[in-house]
């Protein structure tokens, strides 16, 4: 990050790689275009970051100031406003709940999606194509459409009120299955054959050969699952309700639709909900952007 940033001011820039080539004559037209490119990029940076900056600043305001001040910055940087809201909402409990939801979901996503993809990519038992096609169709139908009956089933099986349905739901993710399958297909068949010859059972091939070779895709699936579970609130809201297991986003959803909270506290709650994913992003930023570029898929 840092080195790349300084690159911006480095005289010895690397050669051009885009549509505009170093071959291009240094006409005014080209120069203007290059200038325009950087202007747009600067605007993009402001658009992407300013709202985040604003909400953090808004968190320093109290209700009266928030409702009446026409300044971006607060009158004073009173950090106790954040700590007060933090303590008052006892949001640490919601962080923990989100954490539980994430851990179970990641395990479930890796194991169940991985096993299904293993079947579809490598084992290929008779009739697997039907399942494969059904998984592909699932990609095309938004899960939201199935929300109402799913909710009813969860209530019927009396699974409401705890994380179980959320964990298991992560095991039915069509995108993950497709990702795993694509990756498994690229594993040379000879390696798997050799393991079979050595008498490895099918499951052992999965756990000892296929998964260890698939670390990159496991990382991608994990990142997507973490991000998805952290942000999700519709199914979690229907499953967890307003009970003690509320995740951060469910809490925020209840706040935002019922307004049982003052606007200034709401802005601080928004900040609390943004901080963990932003921190995680900057830690795993390289891995994430590279993996998306190489696997060419969207989160």
CA angle 256–258–262, rounded 5-degree value: 65
Q: Name the minimum Å distance from CB 79 to another protein.
A: 19
* Token output for 293: 């570029």
Region of 58-66, 75-83, 187-195, 211-219 interacting with another protein (CB under 8 A): 58-66
Q: Name the minimum Å distance from CB 77 to another protein.
A: 19
Sole binder of another protein in the list 31, 35, 49, 193 (CB under 8 A): 49
- Binding-residue pattern over the window 137 to 166 for another protein, x denoting contact by CB under 8 A: -xxxxxxxxxxxxxxxxxxxxxxxxxxxx-
136 binds another protein (CB under 8 A): yes
Q: For residue 295, how many other CB atoms are within 10 A of its CB?
A: 14
- Binding-residue pattern over the window 180 to 219 for another protein, x denoting contact by CB under 8 A: -xx--x---------------xxxx-x-------------
Task: Annotate 179-197 with DSSP letters as a single string.
Answer: HHHHHHHTS-HHHHHHHHH
Nearer to another protein, 213 or 295 (CB): 295
Q: With CB under 8 A, what is the number of residues at the site for another protein?
A: 151
In contact, 69 and 75? CB cutoff 8 Å? yes
* Rounded-to-integer distance, Cα 115 and Cα 177, Å: 9
59 binds another protein (CB under 8 A): no
* 12, HSE (Cβ side, Cα atoms, 13 Å): 0
Look-up: residue for tokens 């406003």?
A: 81
Region of 75-83, 187-195, 210-218, 234-242 interacting with another protein (CB under 8 A): 234-242
83 binds another protein (CB under 8 A): no
Nearer to another protein, 191 or 278 (CB): 278
* CA atoms 25, 28, 31, 32: torsion sign: negative
């Amino acid at each position: 990050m840092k080195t790349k940033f300084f690159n911006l001011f480095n005289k010895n820039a690397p050669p051009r790689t885009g549509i505009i080539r170093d071959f291009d004559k240094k006409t005014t037209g080209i120069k203007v275009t290059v200038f325009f490119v950087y202007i747009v990029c600067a605007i993009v940076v402001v658009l992407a970051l300013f709202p985040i900056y604003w909400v953090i600043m808004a968190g320093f305001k109290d209700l009266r100031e928030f409702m009446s001040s026409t300044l971006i910055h607060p009158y004073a940087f009173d950090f106790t406003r954040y700590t007060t809201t933090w303590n008052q909402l006892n949001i640490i409990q919601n962080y923990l709940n989100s954490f539980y939801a994430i851990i179970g979901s990641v395990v479930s996503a890796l194991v169940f999606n991985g096993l299904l993809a293993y079947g579809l990519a490598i084992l290929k038992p008779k009739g697997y194509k039907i399942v494969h096609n059904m998984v592909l169709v699932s990609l095309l139908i938004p899960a939201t459409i199935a929300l109402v009956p799913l909710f009813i089933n969860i209530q019927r099986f009396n699974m409401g009120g705890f994380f179980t349905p959320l964990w298991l739901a992560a095991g039915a993710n069509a995108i993950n299955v497709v990702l795993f399958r694509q990756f498994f297909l690229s594993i040379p068949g000879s390696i798997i054959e050799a393991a079979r010859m050595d008498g490895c059972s099918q499951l052992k091939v999965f756990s000892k050969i296929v998964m260890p070779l698939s670390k990159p895709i496991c990382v991608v699936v994990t990142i997507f699952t973490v991000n998805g579970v952290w942000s999700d609130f519709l199914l979690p809201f229907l499953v967890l309700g307003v009970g003690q297991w509320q995740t951060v986003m469910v809490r925020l959803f209840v706040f935002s639709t019922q307004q049982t909270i003052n606007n200034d506290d709401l802005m601080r709650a928004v900040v609390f909900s943004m901080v963990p994913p932003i921190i995680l992003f900057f830690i795993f930023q390289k891995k994430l952007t590279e993996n998306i570029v190489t696997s060419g898929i969207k989160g």
